[in-house]
Structure 1
Amino acid sequence: MDDNAVTFQFKAMNTTVACTLSCSSEAEAELLEGEAQSWFDYVEDRFSRFVPDSELSRLNRHAGSSFLVSAAMLEVLQLSDLYRELTDGTFDPFVREALLRSGYSRSFEELAAGAAASHAGEALNRTPRLPFKLDAAMRSVLLPAGSSLDLGGIVKSWAVKRLADWFRTKRQTAFGLINAGGDLTAWGAPEAAPWRIGIEHPWESRSELGRIWLTAGASATSSTLGRLWQTNAGTMHHLIDPATMAPSSSDIVQCTTAGSDPVACEIWAKTLCILGSEAGLSLLSRRAAPVEALLFSRDRRLIFYGSPSSIHSTWRNVPIDQLVEPSVPYRRKEGERLD
């Protein structure tokens, strides 16, 4: 974007983290890169369910009794509870047991290397309606006995948001883009040269289907097609529908969202994939969620939810089949294309 910028990437949290940040010297570039890597290492060590001694793993082992947590864990749990309510329970952090039951018992790199065992036919405890109790003053959490959390559906975008906040406020980083496997936030681009984020093509590997132009904002993509593994019960993916406690099977296979908050973008992208076009867009409209969304259906139709003015401004070169405005209930239409 600029001569006074550093670009770097590294592996963390089972994905690639890519950053482009303003800087004025080699020493500053090394500082920013070191802080980014250290932050994501910290987040992974604290929140990974694959690390036996992570804070999340220890919290899960103490289900049924109060457990003192860090400020970071408390913040993520509070956000999880907020979005559980906003999505009517579609975003549910209590899906660890369902993921294990579907064969997601180790990191995806290891899982993709070979078949996994699935226990899809076994009974599964349903999620409690009020899944945990938080005492913010004491920084304590009480999980119901026999329950366990997986925070992979929120913590990556939260990590992106917190790191961006740090760079903007503490390092006075004039512009930047932080992208952790499709969960991203950007700031500081001039209107004449916005950030241009490729929209992943769900059916053509390593190709784009249009772009999102941002001077500042966030985006996220969720998909049932990219993170797949084979089990003795068939192909599985990581988006668990709390209504069935099994991988979701809606009419939406991928969703890309854009807005101001990377956490909101991630949560609503997942929610729309799980609920599908009709129920998902109805909920999104009722909540007046601050995101726009591009939904890819199983029959390869592209549904855009958002303002008509965003087409050809924020969302560029996207072959939209149907436009759904936030105040208008979703109705499927055949043959409509907005190029």
Structure 2
Amino acid sequence: MIFTFAVSAAPVASGKDVRRFEGETMGTTWSVNAVLPDGADGRAIERGIQSEVDRVVAQMSTYEPDSDLSRFNRAPAGTWRTLPPELFTVLRYALWLAKDSNGAYDPTVGPLVNLWGFGPDKRPHDAPDAAAIAAARARVGWSKIELDEANRRALQPGGVYVDLSSVAKGFGVDQVARFLDRSEVRDYLVEVGGELRARGGKPDGSPWRVGIERPGAAAGAVDSLDEVQRIVSLTGKAIATSGDYRHFFESGGTFFSHHIDPRTGYPVAHRVASVSIVADDCMHADPLGTAMTVLGPDEGMAYAKRHGIAVLFILYGENGRFEERASPAFTAVSPP
């Protein structure tokens, strides 16, 4: 997770100030720090932001039984479902990334996520057995879904359960950013559940600065510098972080991460503590963090270098220490 540094709302020499808006969505919170244009209606801005994230939930939530995605997941085998433009866009990108990563990222991983207790279903007390994992894996496979671009439809082949939780928050950040652009807000920092996107800067000319949380940091310790692994200045970029140090469970003396490898059906078991991605928008940054986590530091770094991805791996080291591995693209946007 990423936290933002507190931004003062006190007026500065330019006569402008930073307004902060907050709300709830997707089982987490959202916040926006923005410099509003003269005459802007703050309440209308707040309502507009909430409306944008609410629409993402209505389309892409697996927790809401009436969402467009939930209806697709329940659709009979062999049926085509017409999807809203936003959901179709996100699903199309998720399927592209699944193909490009050779299945390390897979939006149909939902049955495995639920089986291991990290989805809408109740968390198990014990790890599932091999038979249950094999049965869930039989329902997983991004290539099972066909898209009809011309009519914005997706085929439910039967039993496929799509989980877009690894990309919906990022897309929600982008939707809020687009709303602020339409509202002629030129300086803002948008955050949804720790995924961020920035434009412009603060009224004093300084950039928006965010801290990449040190793995294992106390939840909510957003003001303590000793809980920060790296500080990044965002200008016209988005950043997303995936980590395993908050979402896990223990069974039989073994800790199981919420990051499930779709190719094996089991949680990842390498040294990755967290992965941070900087990209032009958050829809691309968000799921890339999941893909990099599953690929691991070696295969993931090779993939990042081939694609020019800005990634920072934080790895578990010896004696409780953490190690960093940054791609050249990440070093370029955030020198050590």
Q: Taking structure 2 as the reference length, what is the TM-score of the superposition?
A: 0.83
- Aligned to 1:239, which of 259, 264, 279? 259
Shift of 1:259: 2.5
CA distance in 2, matches of 1:283, 1:135: 29
Unpaired runs of 5+ residues, structure 2, are 1-6, 222-226
Which residue of structure 1 lines up, in the alignment, with residue 4 of structure 2?
A: none
Confirm whether residue 223 of structure 1 aligns to residue 243 of structure 2: yes
Shift of 1:245: 1.6
Shift of 1:228: 2.4
CA distance in 1, matches of 2:329, 2:66: 46
Q: Provide Cα deviations, 1:115-153, integer angstroms capped at 9, x if missing partner.
A: 656534322334336221111222221022121110111
- Percent same amino acid at aligned positions? 23
Which residue of structure 1 lines up, in the alignment, with residue 117 of structure 2?
A: 103
Which residue of structure 1 lines up, in the alignment, with residue 100 of structure 2?
A: 86
Which residue of structure 1 lines up, in the alignment, with residue 328 of structure 2?
A: 306
CA contact (8 A) 2:312 2:326 kept: yes
Q: Provide Cα deviations, 1:310-330, integer angstroms capped at 9, x if missing partner.
A: 3xxx436x5xxxxxxxxxxxx
Any residues of structure 2 matched to 1:78-227 within 5 Å, and which?
Answer: 78-106=92-120, 116=125, 118-121=127-130, 122=132, 123-124=134-135, 125-126=137-138, 127-128=140-141, 130-168=143-181, 170-189=182-201, 192-205=205-218, 206=221, 207-227=227-247
CA distance in 2, matches of 1:144, 1:280: 31
Shift of 1:224: 1.2
CA gap 1:137/1:90 in 2 versus in 1, 3 angstroms: same
Shift of 1:234: 5.3
Between 190-199 and 249-258, the greater mean CA deviation after superposition: 190-199
CA distance in 2, matches of 1:309, 1:225: 24
Which residue of structure 1 lines up, in the alignment, with residue 314 of structure 2?
A: 296
The residue type paired with residue 158 of structure 1 is F
Shift of 1:301: 1.2
Q: Provide Cα deviations, 1:177-218, integer angstroms capped at 9, x if missing partner.
A: 101122111001279501100111103322212200122211
CA contact (8 A) 2:25 2:53 kept: yes
Q: Secondary structure at the match of 2:185?
A: coil
Which residue of structure 2 lines up, in the alignment, with residue 315 of structure 1?
A: 334
* Between structures 1 and 2, the one with greater helix share: 2
CA gap 1:92/1:307 in 2 versus in 1, 3 angstroms: closer
Which residue of structure 2 lines up, in the alignment, with residue 254 of structure 1?
A: 274
> When the two structures are aligned, how many residues end up with a matched partner?
306
Q: Provide Cα deviations, 1:268-293, integer angstroms capped at 9, x if missing partner.
A: 2221211111111111222x23x312
Q: Secondary structure at the match of 1:130?
A: helix
Shift of 1:85: 2.3
Between 131-140 and 24-33, the greater mean CA deviation after superposition: 24-33
Q: Secondary structure at the match of 1:247?
A: coil
Q: Provide Cα deviations, 1:52-91, integer angstroms capped at 9, x if missing partner.
A: 1111111001152111221222111111122112322211
CA contact (8 A) 1:154 1:267 kept: yes
- Aligned to 1:279, which of 299, 318, 330? 299
The residue type paired with residue 199 of structure 1 is I
CA distance in 2, matches of 1:116, 1:106: 15
CA distance in 2, matches of 1:257, 1:103: 26
CA distance in 2, matches of 1:215, 1:83: 25
Unpaired runs of 5+ residues, structure 1, are 319-339
Q: Which has the higher contact order (CA 8 A, sep 6+)?
A: 2
CA distance in 2, matches of 1:146, 1:231: 28
Which residue of structure 1 lines up, in the alignment, with residue 82 of structure 2?
A: 68
CA contact (8 A) 2:278 2:330 kept: no
CA distance in 2, matches of 1:285, 1:199: 21
CA contact (8 A) 2:32 2:189 kept: yes
Q: Secondary structure at the match of 1:199?
A: strand
CA contact (8 A) 2:189 2:197 kept: yes
